[in-house]
């Protein structure tokens, strides 16, 4: 092409979240395009990882400032001669949608269970989405469950909608599956923000019923629930360590035997993909999105009964419940849906479709 197509990306921040990491991977993996990234506010932690992109900070944090951000973004779209606008997350999608209305293709990525997270609790947000969404918008959902959740509240145009899983970094893809060996002490790992949604209380309830000398759990991540969880761990003398955030998670994961993920709900889980790619067998919630994320290659636990998790982990440790066949299949399967090359090819195809239309 004579002129590089300019994609203007709008996102709330460039911090360390899954949507932000996905955006950086997408931008770095599409050198054939010109990229302008507009953030509504700081932090811009991932700025240093961008290879070739212009970054603009609107410094708009409140709702009133976001209305001003629409006017600012209209000017930026004209100045940068954007050919397509791609937004992530609720507030930046709202701003990007209004600023680009009718003048060019508008794409937004549905990164979470927006209905469950927001529309169910906030009628103003639900009305705002209904008023601003257009059937001319293009929609990328990070899972079928996230899309189904959105469709409960918003009538979409299926001809302009697709499902593309988020990719994980290539460093997580191990050369071989790590064979689980029963009979020894089981080292377990869980990854995610320390907040009620991630349901760590459920895991701690299960650990109370399990022999402490045969199991230990390390939890990576931080959040508002940390002090509460630490008190439970100390008071109940549970074999659990809160590890906080680390930069070498891809190396540490391989030192464990089983990955646990017992969220109540979510749009899609990068942490689940990362654990599968590292070659660990998985024990996850029996909720539709995690069954989808694991390709049905995991052991599933009933969230209404912590004893179910305890019983299954004890059986795995004894060798009574086989995990390696599922684990190896999941290890191969995740390469077909979450490898950067696979995901970028899907995104490129969809972006070209949006632009050409």
Q: State the number of CA atoms in the 13 A half-sphere of 290 facing the CB.
A: 23
Of the options 3.90.1150.10, 3.40.50.2000, 3.40.50.150, 3.40.50.2300, the CATH number for the domain spanning 170-336: 3.40.50.2000
324-333 helix and 270-278 helix, angle to the nearest 10 degrees: 110
109 and 138 Cβ atoms separated by less than 8 Å: no
The percentage of residues in the chain with a pLDDT greater than 70, rounded to a whole number, is: 99
Alpha-carbon distance values, 135 to 20, 93, 102, 156 (Å): 26, 15, 11, 6
For the segment 223-233, the average pLDDT, to the nearest whole number, is 97
In our burial notation (b when 16+ CB lie closer than 10 A, e otherwise), range 222-258 reads eeebbeebeebbeeeebbbebbeeeeebbeebeebbb
Question: What is the predicted pLDDT for the residue at 63?
Answer: 75
pLDDT tier for residue 277 given thresholds of 50, 70 and 90: very high
* Per-chain mean pLDDT for the chain: 95
174 and 278 Cβ atoms separated by less than 8 Å: yes
Alpha-carbon distance of 100 to 72, in angstroms, equals: 11
Q: State the number of CA atoms in the 13 A half-sphere of 156 facing the CB.
A: 20
Q: How many CB atoms lie within 10 A of CB 289?
A: 24
Structure confidence by residue, pLDDT tens digits, 205-224? 999 999 999 999 999 999 99
Please tell me which residue, 204 or 101, carries the higher pLDDT value. Answer: 204
Alpha-carbon distance of 299 to 219, in angstroms, equals: 19
Alpha-carbon distance values, 72 to 23, 59, 66, 279, 287 (Å): 22, 11, 9, 46, 41
269-273: long-range contacts, CB 8 A cutoff, minimum separation 24: 269/293, 270/18, 270/21, 270/22, 270/166, 270/168, 271/191, 271/192, 273/165, 273/166, 273/168, 273/172, 273/334, 273/337, 273/338
φ/ψ of 100, rounded to 5, equals: -105, 5
Question: What is the predicted pLDDT for the residue at 102?
Answer: 76
Question: What is the predicted pLDDT for the residue at 8?
Answer: 98
Question: What is the predicted pLDDT for the residue at 1?
Answer: 44
Alpha-carbon distance values, 20 to 102, 106, 134 (Å): 26, 18, 24
For residue 35, which of 53, 49, 23 has the smallest C-alpha distance? 53
Q: How many CB atoms lie within 10 A of CB 211?
A: 11
* Tokens describing residue 245: 């955030």
258 and 215 Cβ atoms separated by less than 8 Å: no
Structure confidence by residue, pLDDT tens digits, 46-72? 999 999 999 999 999 887 788 899 999
29 and 345 Cβ atoms separated by less than 8 Å: no
For residue 194, which of 203, 207, 184 has the smallest C-alpha distance? 203
List every span in the chain annotated with CATH 3.40.50.2000: 6-167+339-356, 170-336
Alpha-carbon distance of 257 to 279, in angstroms, equals: 9
Question: What is the predicted pLDDT for the residue at 2?
Answer: 60
For the segment 321-332, the average pLDDT, to the nearest whole number, is 97
Structure confidence by residue, pLDDT tens digits, 98-156? 999 877 999 999 999 999 999 999 999 999 999 999 999 999 999 999 999 999 999 99
For the segment 26-45, the average pLDDT, to the nearest whole number, is 94
- According to DSSP, the β-strands at 186-191 and 299-301 are unpaired
The CATH code belonging to domain 6-167+339-356 is 3.40.50.2000
Of the listed ranges 56-60, 98-102, 299-303, 348-352, the one predicted with least confidence = 98-102
* Tokens describing residue 158: 């299926």
* Tokens describing residue 100: 């680009």
Q: pTM, whole model, 2 decimals?
A: 0.92
| DSSP, res 130 | H
Question: What is the predicted pLDDT for the residue at 357?
Answer: 81
φ/ψ of 349, rounded to 5, equals: -60, -40
The H or E element that residue 333 is part of is helix 324-333
For the segment 16-34, the average pLDDT, to the nearest whole number, is 90
């Amino acid at each position: 092409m004579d002129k590089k197509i300019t994609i203007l990306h709008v996102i709330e921040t460039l911090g360390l979240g899954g949507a932000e990491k996905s955006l950086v991977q997408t931008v770095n993996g599409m050198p054939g395009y010109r990229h302008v990234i507009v953030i509504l506010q700081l932090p811009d932690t991932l700025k240093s990882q961008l290879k070739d992109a212009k970054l603009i900070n609107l410094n708009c944090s409140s709702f009133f400032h976001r209305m001003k951000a629409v006017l600012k973004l209209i000017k930026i779209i004209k100045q940068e001669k954007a050919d397509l606008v791609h937004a992530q997350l609720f507030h930046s999608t709202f701003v990007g949608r209004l600023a680009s209305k009718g003048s060019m293709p508008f794409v937004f990525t549905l990164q979470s269970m927006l209905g469950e997270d927001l529309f169910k609790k906030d009628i103003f947000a639900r009305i705002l989405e209904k008023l601003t969404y257009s059937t001319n918008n293009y929609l990328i959902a990070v899972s079928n469950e996230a899309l189904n959740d959105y469709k409960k509240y918003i009538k979409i145009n299926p001809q302009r909608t697709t499902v593309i899983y988020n990719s994980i970094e290539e460093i997580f893809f191990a050369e071989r599956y790590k064979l689980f060996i029963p009979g020894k002490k089981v080292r377990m790992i869980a990854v995610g923000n320390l907040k009620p949604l991630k349901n760590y209380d459920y895991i701690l309830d299960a650990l109370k019923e399990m022999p402490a000398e045969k199991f230990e759990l390390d939890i990576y991540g931080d959040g508002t629930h940390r002090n509460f969880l630490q008190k439970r761990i100390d008071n109940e003398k549970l074999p659990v360590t809160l590890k906080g955030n680390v930069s070498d998670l891809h190396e540490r994961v391989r030192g464990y035997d089983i990955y646990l993920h017992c969220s109540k709900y979510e749009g899609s889980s990068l942490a689940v993909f990362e654990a599968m790619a590292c070659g660990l067998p998985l024990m996850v919630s029996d909720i539709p999105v995690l069954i989808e994320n694991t390709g049905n290659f995991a052991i599933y636990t009933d969230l209404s009964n912590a004893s179910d998790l305890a019983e299954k982990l004890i059986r795995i440790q004894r060798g009574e419940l086989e995990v390696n066949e599922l684990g190896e299949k999941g290890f191969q399967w995740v390469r077909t849906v979450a490898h950067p090359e696979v995901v970028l090819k899907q995104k490129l195809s969809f972006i070209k479709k949006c632009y050409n239309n």
